[in-house]
């Protein structure tokens, strides 16, 4: 298993892998997104309390789930960069931060749009929303730190330390904000036992979550491939690949 991690650490191998992965990931993600959107936004029945305004859940929840998971992926990449000194992990971190930040922003904006008809306010300071806002700040901090250093290697190490510190803090932040205030609906998707959400809404939601994970992977791979193309443009292996 470790051999694949070592292979991923080599820019030529990763470039070929990324090309292949993007080629088959792109159609799958597009299909999944279209099917999920049509199913969720058109086919699934309206909610008996919220009517049709609940449908933004099919974008809001997947974005939030992937944004939170993405931070841990970024922290893992940071760990690999610091501990095993894998240079591709630096590239991965630089690619992951903006994508994660964008997804967090999408989650916050769609949540705000959802909140207006249901709660009557564009913004409510409840536990989950505040935690997501702090997650956005953590992402922006990593992005700002990586831009601030002139030396790229030092920048990557600094971002790795910062994202690891943030990882330790995320459960603490989440729990503290939870205790501070909560009127957000408790989690409806449980993987053991019966969910509080009906199957006709659950399945499109799960499909959209999977589709968003795929979209996340696609965006990160595209960004990493672009960075490889710019950094390694003078190398012989890339020139032979492109010709």
List residues binding another protein (CB under 8 A): 82, 134, 137-138, 140-141, 144-145, 148-151, 153-155, 157-158, 161-162, 164-166, 168-169, 172-173, 175-177, 179-180
Q: What is the DSSP string of 207-239?
A: HHHHHHHHHHHHHHHHHHHHHHHHHTTTSHHHH
Could you give the CA distance from residue 240 to residue 29 in angstroms, rounded to a whole number?
30
Name, in order, each residue with C-beta under 8 angstroms of 28's C-beta and a sequence gap of 6 or more. Answer: 214
Measured from the CB atom, the residue of 23 and 148 that comes closer to another protein is 148
Q: How far apart are CA 57 and CA 51, in angstroms?
A: 12
Q: Buried (b) or exposed (e) across 21-40, using 16+ Cβ within 10 A?
A: eeeebeeebeebbeebbebb
Q: Least distance in Å: CB of 156 to another protein?
A: 9
Output the smallest distance, CB 8 to another protein, in A: 24
- Shortest distance (Å) from residue 142 CB to another protein: 9
CA dihedral 86, 87, 92, 94 (to 10 degrees): 130
- Shortest spacing between CB 91 and another protein, in angstroms: 18
For the bound state, the minimum distance from the C-beta of residue 9 to another protein, rounded and expressed in Å, comes to 21
User: Can you say whether the dihedral through the CA atoms of 33, 137, 168, 131 is positive or negative?
Assistant: negative
Pick the closer one to another protein by CB: 150 or 194: 150
| Residue (168 or 187) nearer to another protein, CB | 168
**Min dist. Cβ of residue 40 to another protein (A):** 32
Q: How far apart are CA 142 and CA 179, in angstroms?
A: 27
Closer residue to another protein in complex, CB, 139/212? 139
Smallest distance from another protein to CB 50, Å: 30
Measured from the CB atom, is 172 or 242 closer to another protein?
A: 172
Of 71 and 114, CB closest to another protein: 71
Angle of helix 199-231 versus helix 87-119 axis, rounded to 10: 140
The token pair that represents 89 in the structure block: 């992990």
52 vs 169, beta carbon nearer another protein: 169
């Amino acid at each position: 298993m470790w051999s694949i991690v070592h292979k991923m650490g080599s820019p030529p191998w990763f470039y070929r892998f990324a090309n292949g992965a993007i080629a088959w990931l792109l159609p799958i993600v597009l299909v999944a997104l279209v099917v999920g959107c049509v199913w969720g936004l058109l086919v699934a029945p309206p909610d008996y309390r919220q009517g049709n305004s609940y449908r933004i859940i099919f974008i809001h929840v997947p974005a939030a789930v992937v944004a939170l998971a993405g931070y841990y992926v970024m922290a893992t990449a940071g760990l690999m960069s610091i501990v095993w000194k894998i240079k591709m992990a630096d590239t991965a971190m630089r690619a992951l931060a903006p994508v994660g930040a964008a997804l967090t922003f999408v989650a916050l904006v769609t949540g705000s749009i959802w909140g207006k008809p249901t709660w009557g306010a564009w913004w409510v300071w409840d536990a989950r929303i505040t935690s997501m806002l702090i997650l956005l700040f953590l992402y922006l901090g990593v992005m700002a730190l990586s831009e601030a250093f002139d030396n790229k290697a030092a920048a990557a190490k600094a971002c790795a330390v910062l994202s690891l510190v943030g990882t330790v803090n995320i459960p603490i932040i989440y729990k503290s904000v939870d205790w501070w205030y909560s009127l957000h609906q408790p989690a409806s998707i449980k993987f053991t036992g019966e969910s509080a959400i009906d199957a006709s809404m659950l399945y499109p939601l799960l499909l959209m979550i999977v589709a968003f994970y795929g979209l996340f992977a696609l965006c990160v791979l595209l960004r990493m491939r672009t960075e490889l193309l710019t950094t390694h443009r003078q190398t012989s292996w890339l020139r032979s690949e492109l010709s």
